[in-house]
Structure 1
Amino acid sequence: MRKQSSRARNTRFRLFRLIVFSGVILTLGFIFLVSTVGSQKFGSLHKLVLESAGPVQEFVASGLRHFDTFREEYLDVLSVREENKRLWKELQESRALLHKSREAMATNTRLKKLLNFREASNLPMITATVIGKDPSMWFRSIIIDRGTNDGVVKGSPVTNGEGIVGQVFTVAPNYSKVLLAIAPSSAIDVLLQKSRVRGILKGTGALTYQLDYVLKNVEVEEGDRVVTAGYGGVFPTGLPVGVVTKVIRKRRGNFHEIEVTPSVDYRTLEYLFVLQKREQVGH
């Protein structure tokens, strides 16, 4: 019973102290308010209250300033992020436009070469576009969008503005297959342009030719140009074939080993010419 009575007295005492403390704080606040509103003079009590409240106000004001600074910096970061997104989008659009412009210029350059070749050669020909490729090593070939309905016949030579490409070996009404000159099964009569010596150009399956049957007593140098010989009536005489890039002179045997780099870039074939004979056109 004594313990319970003691606890009750302590609880009442704490409540009394809280009420007294609250009353003092309210009184001080009231005095401060009255002295501020009712008089322009600062008394001792006013100064005491001001000194007590000043640090609290300074702390609150400092916190508000930091909050405003943080908010402004955060808004600036958001603004910069949005600006970066906009600039990145504009950069991507500019790159796409630049790519289209470069592609248009490259296409224009290729078409100009084809047009110049057509005007300079004065040969009847059919314009064709490459629509497919056969990557097999032995039978390297491409498919073009021209066939018998367009006047293409089996055996027709195929060129572009840079030189010979190959020969038509399969024909359908609207499409044809062209055996590339770099195919190992291809063989073309050619001439060394400077010495006018004849040889047989064979494909290697890679992006080079092999020139066979050129005797050792013939002077051959790197950089010599190779052109079609015109024998057999397949390719006209003088069409560009390639350039000699390697000459191997062996002690044994009667012929040079000659490597020729094509004048045609087989990796970028797009537009071609299928050459026709005069009698085909007349017919």
Structure 2
Amino acid sequence: MKRKKNSPKLWIAVCFIGLILFLLSSGSGKITPWGPIARSVIDITAPFQNLTAKICSAVEGFWLTYFHLIKVREENAQLKASVDALKLENSRYREMLSDYRRFEELLQFKESSDRPSLAARVIGLDPTGWFKSVIIDKGEKQGVKLDMSVVNADGIIGRVVSVSQNYSKVLLIIDQNSAVDCLVQRSRERGIAVGLSTNICKLNYVQESGDVVVGDIIVSSGLAGVFPKGLPVGEVLDIKDVPGELFKDINIKPAVDFSRLEAVLLIAKEHVPSLDQTKTE
């Protein structure tokens, strides 16, 4: 087999590079001006060196910018996490302040009542769904008894109808099975407030000739000893005189916003002497 002959171009390139290296190194140790060949070589190679330097600089700048952006993004993520944590903490503080204000209002109401009372918190709705009622976080162990009235700073909420060791159920006055003996605060007309819907109660048994007008405040009468006397029940919304009926058709708006029940106050039922006890005395 014949061996391949080396290409003349390869030898020319090797000789040219060797010549360049010889010319550049021949002046080592001396400071001499470039000769014609050296200048030609520099003129040829310098643009490539300049281009290479620019490319390296661009690549270096890209990588530095890239890593800087990564660092900035990490710092932004850390700052966002810190801001979110501060927002959450701020929200907790606002909620604590709101709870404090609600319990402060209940405490002021408690101080104005001469009956034993107990603060509680609403933790849920009646799971059966048959009644408009709520569950509170106090029960027999904490001293809760049946028929204790449940109120807040706005007015009457309802009464305790079921009690377990640590929880109780409160029937709200907006339930149709609830009944509160009431007075028209201005005229002292009597009636019974019964539940109708979430936002409306009926004031029954007010005589046709009774003195009631829209805007009158309805308060508890204190009879039967369940609810203390004078607690707000609601405000008269509208009145209808039904021909042939003995009583007015009156709707009242409850004083309490039942969509925002949280902190409540339980008040012990007042002991009402029976007729036999009264005769004995």
TM-score (norm 2): 0.83
Where 1:235 maps in the other structure, the secondary structure is coil
The alpha carbon displacement at 1:265 in A equals: 2.7
Could you list the per-position Cα deviations for residues 237-278 of structure 1 after superposition, in whole angstroms to 9, with x for gaps in the alignment?
Answer: 21111223x215366454444332222232323332132325
Whether the aligned pair in 2 keeps the contact of 1:182 and 1:208 (CA below 8 Å) is: yes
Q: Compared with structure 1, are the counterparts of its residues 209 and 137 closer, same or farther at alpha carbon in structure 2 (3 Å cutoff)?
A: farther
Match of 2:150 in 1: 158
Per-residue CA deviations over 1:224-248 (Å, capped at 9, x if unaligned) read 211002233332221111223x215
Sequence identity (%): 34
Query: How has the CA–CA distance of structure 1 residues 117 and 21 changed in structure 2, closer, same or farther, with 3 Å as cutoff?
Result: same
Distance 1:171 1:94 in 2: 40
Residue 30 of structure 1, CA deviation = 2.1
Structure 1 spans left out of the alignment, 5+ residues:
none
Contact 1:158–1:275, Cα closer than 8 Å, also in 2 = no
1:223 matches 2:219: no
Q: Which residues of structure 2 form unaligned runs of 5+?
A: 274-281
Task: String of CA shifts for 1:120-174, please: whole Å, max 9, x gaps.
Answer: 1222223344344206564222333444555544333222232111122234455
Q: What does 1:1-283 correspond to in 2, within 5 Å?
A: 12=5, 15-35=7-27, 38-134=30-126, 138-148=130-140, 150-172=142-164, 174-215=166-207, 217-218=209-210, 220-244=212-236, 246-249=237-240, 252=243, 254=245, 255-267=247-259, 268-277=261-270
**Whole-angstrom distance in 1 between the partners of 2:140 and 2:206:** 38
Q: 1:16 to 1:253 in 2, by over 3 A?
A: farther
CA distance in 2, matches of 1:174, 1:137: 21
TM-score, scaled to structure 1: 0.83
Contact 2:198 2:258 in 1 (8 A): no
Q: CA deviation at 1:54?
A: 0.8
Whichever structure has more helix as a proportion of its residues is 1
Report the secondary structure of 2:57's partner residue: helix
The CA distance in 2 between the partners of 1:135 and 1:203, in whole Å, is 19
CA–CA distance in structure 2, aligned partners of residues 233 and 150 of structure 1: 21
Contact 1:140 1:205 in 2 (8 A): no
- Measured after TM superposition, the shift of residue 178 of structure 1 is 2.1
Deviation string 1:201-237 (CA, Å, 9 cap, x unpaired) is: 1112424322223345545444321100223333222
Q: Is the 8 A contact 1:152 1:274 kept in 2?
A: no
The separation in 2 between residues aligned to 1:59 and 1:150, in whole angstroms, is 86
What is the number of equivalent residue pairs in this alignment? 271
Distance 1:171 1:76, change over 3 A: closer
1:185 is displaced (CA, Å) by 1.0
Conserved in 2, the CA contact under 8 Å of 1:226 and 1:242? yes
Aligned CA-pair RMSD: 2.8
SS at match of 2:26: helix
